[in-house]
Homo-oligomer: A and B are copies of this chain.
Amino acid sequence: MRIVRTEGELREVLDFERRAGRTIGLVPTMGALHEGHLSLVRLAHESADVVVVSVFVNPLQFGESEDYEHYPRDTEGDLELLEGERADVAFLPSVDAMYPADATVVVTAGPLGEVFEGAARPGHFDGVCTVVTKLFHLVEPDTAIFGQKDAQQVAVLSHLVKDLNFRVRLIVAPIVREGDGLAMSSRNAYLTIEQREQALALSRSLQLGRAELERSNDASACERAMREHLAAATGVAVSYAAAVDPVTFGPPRGDGVLLIVAARVGTTRLIDNELVARAEPGTRNQERMRHAARG
């Protein structure tokens, strides 16, 4: 595995691969890699000849009060894991190279970047769109792999690619969970043993929401079930629990309903989600009207 830290070296390495006719798959990460990331690397291998994994904690996607400074960093451990997955290139740019002091142009996500995660983390998705645009221009990948764990990020980046006519093909990898259901996240490292147990309320609320939706096909009842479970859980402060359209994040309208939850466990903000296929399309209109009535 080649470890690359500068734009010049990256372009040189990848131009060589491109000239040899090989396709390139990109896995953008913020490091602190876990099994979830490694599943993305494996998908990248399936989709392209050369796999590039970027490891860059992107300051632009953290709010001022957020955990940028303390975000877990373990470059040595990350590189070892990437070697194990036979990644071809690990790209580790510096913050100064990615964001020179005079940089001003940014990519903004628009309305979809202002709800749910975007409402809780103002500017977060603009930071994501900007860094992903930069990485796409640096790596010029044929495919890019993102995790469904960050469902709203997937929706925003699908817009980015379509709205700005990027040529890259996005591939979305399923959520990887611990044995007890907790969605894998680099931020799980922040949790104490007690909090680790409390954090199960997120995935459990999604299961309750799924059961309610499958039973009643009523998005409001489903949201209520998730919210009530989270509200009753010890040590958990709900940020949101909603049933949304997986593309627009507005009221659910098609066959798929995305259940999304976010909550703080101690000082750690966690998110999780679950995509549910709708059972009874006959009741969809009724459901849509209910949503419209709620505003």
* A16 at the binding interface (Cβ < 8 Å): no
* A104 at the binding interface (Cβ < 8 Å): yes
Interface residues on A, range: 20 to 34
A105-B160 in contact (CB<8A)? yes
Kindly provide the distance from the CB of A16 to the nearest chain B CB, expressed in whole angstroms.
16
Chain B residues within an 8 Å CB radius of A165: 7, 134, 137-138
* A34 at the binding interface (Cβ < 8 Å): no
* A164 at the binding interface (Cβ < 8 Å): yes
Kindly provide the distance from the CB of A181 to the nearest chain B CB, expressed in whole angstroms.
33
B163-A105 in contact (CB<8A)? yes
Chain B residues within an 8 Å CB radius of A162: 100, 103
B103-A159 in contact (CB<8A)? yes
Residue of B103, B105, B159, B167 touching A104 (CB-CB under 8 A)? B159
* A129 at the binding interface (Cβ < 8 Å): yes
A105-B129 in contact (CB<8A)? yes
Chain B residues within an 8 Å CB radius of A104: 109-113, 159, 163
* A68 at the binding interface (Cβ < 8 Å): no
Chain B residues within an 8 Å CB radius of A110: 104-106
Kindly provide the distance from the CB of A233 to the nearest chain B CB, expressed in whole angstroms.
34
What is the bound-complex CA distance between A129 and B105, given in angstroms?
9
B112-A163 in contact (CB<8A)? no
* A239 at the binding interface (Cβ < 8 Å): no
What is the bound-complex CA distance between A130 and B100, given in angstroms?
21
A105-B164 in contact (CB<8A)? yes
Chain B residues within an 8 Å CB radius of A11: 167
B108-A106 in contact (CB<8A)? yes
What is the bound-complex CA distance between A103 and B159, given in angstroms?
7
Chain B residues within an 8 Å CB radius of A103: 159, 162-163
Residue of B107, B112, B138, B167 touching A137 (CB-CB under 8 A)? B167
Chain B residues within an 8 Å CB radius of A113: 104
B109-A107 in contact (CB<8A)? no
* A133 at the binding interface (Cβ < 8 Å): yes
Chain B residues within an 8 Å CB radius of A100: 162-163
What is the bound-complex CA distance between A219 and B164, given in angstroms?
40
Which of A113, A133, A160 has the most chain B CB within a 10 Å cutoff? A133
Q: A105 and B105 in contact (CB under 8 A), knowing A133-B164, A137-B164, A137-B166? A: no
Kindly provide the distance from the CB of A20 to the nearest chain B CB, expressed in whole angstroms.
14
Residues of A within 8 A of B (CB): 7, 11, 100, 102-113, 129-130, 133-134, 137-138, 140, 156, 159-160, 162-167, 248
25 residue pairs from A and B, CB less than 8 Å apart: A103-B159, A103-B162, A104-B109, A104-B110, A104-B111, A104-B112, A104-B113, A104-B159, A104-B163, A105-B107, A105-B108, A105-B109, A105-B156, A105-B163, A106-B107, A106-B108, A106-B110, A106-B163, A107-B108, A108-B108, A133-B164, A134-B165, A137-B164, A137-B165, A137-B167
